[in-house]
Structures are given as C-alpha cells and as structure tokens.
Structure 1
Amino acid sequence: MAGVGALTAVIGTSMAWLVTAYDFRGRRMLEWALLLPLAVPTYIVAYTYLDLLHPLGSFQSLVRTILGYDSPRAFRLPDIRSMTGAVLLLSLVLYPYVYLPTRAMFMTQAANLIEVARTLGTSRRLIFRRVALPLARPAISVGVSLPLMETLNDIGASGFWASGR
C-alpha cells in the first residue's frame, strides 16, 4: 500500500501540474487521455500486461528479435509478476484518482499567488514546490486515499501478480 500510495501521488500530481501549468500541443487531448485507466478494471489490465510482458509474450519476443536472440532462455527481462510489478500496475491504473482532485485544485488556486511568485522571478519548479504543492496537499491526500482503498479491495489483480513465483 505504501508503494501504491507514493507512486500514485507522484504520477497523479505531476500529470495534474503538467496539464494545468504548461501550454503545449496536445494538452487538451492529454487532459482526457489521462483519465482512460479508469475505464478498464484493474484485473483485466493485469492479465493484459502479463500477456504482453510474459517471456513468451509479444513484447519480449520483439526485443529478442531486435537483439538477435533465438530462445527465451538467452534473453529475459525481470519477472513482472511480483510485488514490485503489482505496485507498478496498480499505480498506473489508479493514478487518475489523484489526478482529478489535484488538477481541480491547481485550476482553482488563487492565480494572484502564482503571479506574485512569477513577478518575484521564481522559476516554475519553485512555484510548484513552494506555492502550488502546499496548497494542493488536501486534494492530494484525498486522492491518495481512494487508490489505497482500491488496493485493499482489489484482491484479484494483486493476488494474481504477487503470487507469480
């Protein structure tokens, strides 16, 4: 749970700051695309990732073909079906729970605080760390509580991934 909480907080908060503080091509589409992991149940994503990343799966077969190896025993990536893999998978599926409230908080923060910091010559990184992030902490903590509850609730995906060996 600690790993999922920390990773969802980092991914969700950084993506929320990216789409609210910066203007770049494709930003509007990215705002909505970042919500797509919520559309698929976690256990389906777990089975799909395992099928793709299995030693006999399409991804590792492609990597072996590119590198010139003939058999799965000659080249093998670390086993994704582990506790680390489960934490990574759950974090990549559940980060939108942090992204949504944090993005809403970044959009509704008082613009005059950020403008004053910019006027004083503060970089965007420092504005994020010293102004925006402390103001968004309540939204981040509420957002992290939802993935933690989902992690406790999702016995299927976590049991499937953690019992890989």
Structure 2
Amino acid sequence: MKNNTFLRGLVAGFVFFGVTFSHASLEGVWRTQKSEKNADIKIEKCQDNPNTFCGKIVALQEPTYPDGTPKVDKHNKDASKQSRPLLGLELISGFKAGGDKEWDDGKIYNPEDGDVYDCTIRMYNEGGEDKLEVRGYVGVPLFGKSQTWVRKKSQD
C-alpha cells in the first residue's frame, strides 16, 4: 500500500511538472510588438548547439517594399549580406537557460540598424497570454531597450 501511494505521488509529480515545464517552453512562434513592423519569430533549439535557443523571422506584417520586392537586410554592416531576405533571417541566437523562465548569454540582431546586441529573455504570463520581455543591450542590461513579444496561438 505504501509503495502504491508513493507511485501515485511520483506519477502526479511528473504530470504536474511536465505540464509546468512544457508551458514555460521558449520554443514556439512569437509575435513582436512594434506597430507596423510586427514580425513572427520562430524560436527553437539551435541546430549547431541543442543546449541553446535561436530564432528566425518566419512572417512579416509587411514582407515587401511598396514596389513589391521582398524586404532585405539592407542595413547590415556587411555589404555582402545586404541583399539577403528578412524572411528566414536568424534574429536571435545562443540563449541558455539562466533561471526559472529566463534565458541569457544570447545575441539579438536588429535589422533596422544592422547591429548585434547582447540580449536576455524573460517569460511571464499576463492575462492568460505567454509573453517575453526581450532586452537588448550593450555592456550592461541596465542600459538597454526592451520589447514585449506575445506567443502566437496556433490559429493566428
């Protein structure tokens, strides 16, 4: 009887923590919140290092210029990369779990200025929605900027 109670508790613990951990997963598609420049970023484990997370642009609210040509990485400091399309571009890389619902040691690329910044990510839930506070900075997080990204629901 004691073993049966212990086993039930163990199974209940796995179920509870399994739900909790999967709910707090960084993996998924996130919508940036930047007025007319919204983008969807797919975050998943990096191919070259499965202990870290990377994210690429999978959709843009405005994927083309007014003339109909696809938007490209025109502000990149490396001229050879200025013609690559923004769709499919890796935006974040190298994030490691740093604590409960926190990831750090990552980098974020800003296609608006062509610079790469140090970055941290913190997940929280507000109003039943998973959100990310994505903070890019130079040197010290105190001197940076944050954006809020919202997890996309599958039907969005």
* Coarse TM-score class (shorter-chain normalised): under 0.3
Return the structure number with greater relative CO, CA threshold 8 A, min gap 6: 1
What TM-score do the two structures reach when normalised by structure 1? Answer: 0.22
| Larger strand percent | 2
What TM-score do the two structures reach when normalised by structure 2? Answer: 0.23
| Larger helix percent | 1
